[in-house]
Amino acid sequence: MPLPAEPLRKLGFLTIGSFEEEDPGRGHEATLDLIELGERLGFDSVWVRHRHLQFGISSPVAVLAAASQRTGRIELGTAVIPLGWENPLRLAEDLATVDILSGGRLNPGVSVGPPMHYDRVRSALYPDTADLEDFGYGRVQRLLDLVRGEQASDFGGTEGFEVFSRRVQPHAPGLGRRLWYGGGSLRSARWAGEHGMNLLTSSVVKAEESEDFAEIQRSQIKAFRAAHPEGDRARVSQGLVVIPTDTATREQRAKYEEYARKRAPRTAVPQGPARLMFAPDLVGGSAEIAELLYAHPAFREVDEVAFALPFTFDREDYVQILTDIATRLAPVLGWQPAA
């Protein structure tokens, strides 16, 4: 088994936070329990997905506010908030508030583009401005500026008994350096680098210069760092679906292998008009998975990961997977658990 040039420095995991329509409280509580487990296992970060009008977390900032009060060390991230659903000024206030509550542990990840199924939700989301909304990079720029303390109002001072600020309050020092862009194309990778963001690269990329997922992902990381002021020191976190089976039961192994088998066809060729490429799910013993990762060109470019949990598994499956990642797989990759 080849050795990595550098040990894995930060270990994270990502969850969708599924719930049942008739009992959403139970699902949200299960997500918070999973975050607490991640902290006990020594994970450096946890990331929550964003799902609107589905049975997954629709308000990750609110969930992470709750998580901030039940944890004391683990970093809390979003992967990712689609800004087409958000007002950047209001989001900046929410992010800063949760960052303050967490003691500076928030890592907001965002993306741009029109909301999914925009034609079906536009009348509810933007009833008066649906044709005027800009869903491009300018929306991210507005959020960056506001989080970093740029002026939001031309008035600051006292009016009657009330005191007003020219910038978003609370102001969270350092949060501006912990903003991530969820990119899947060369253009978005370069834009994120040029604007001093961190890069989240996941299991979905656009096939632009190649149809080899790992090479596409590697080229995007290279493009990001070439454009970033910090160059090779710019932060990149890689997200793949990784399912170690070291302590899994026979039934769990069969479930995991069937899950990966059903999803495998989409990894062979670009999908749809956008030519999306999906990474294969990595299922097997930790030694086997580590060897696959060491051979992955993009993995060799990073020292941070946020391994994604599958959407449809049971709690006992997630406990086994997270435990194996933290105690079996990650140590093989040179990672040391947080104190």
All structural domains of the chain, each given as residue ranges with its CATH number in brackets, are: 10-332 (3.20.20.30)
Beta-strand pair 204-206/276-278: antiparallel
Residue 134 DSSP symbol: -
Q: What is the pLDDT along the chain (339 residues), one digit of tens a residue?
A: 345 568 999 999 999 999 999 999 999 999 999 999 999 999 999 999 999 999 999 999 999 999 999 999 999 999 999 999 999 999 999 999 999 999 999 999 999 999 999 999 999 999 999 999 999 999 999 999 999 999 999 999 999 999 999 999 999 999 999 999 999 999 999 999 999 999 999 999 999 989 999 999 999 999 999 999 999 999 999 999 999 999 999 999 999 999 999 999 999 999 999 999 999 999 999 999 999 999 999 999 999 999 999 988 999 999 999 999 999 999 999 999 976
Beta-bridged to residue 283, according to DSSP, are 243
Give me 200's structure tokens: 């989240």
Give me 188's structure tokens: 């978005």
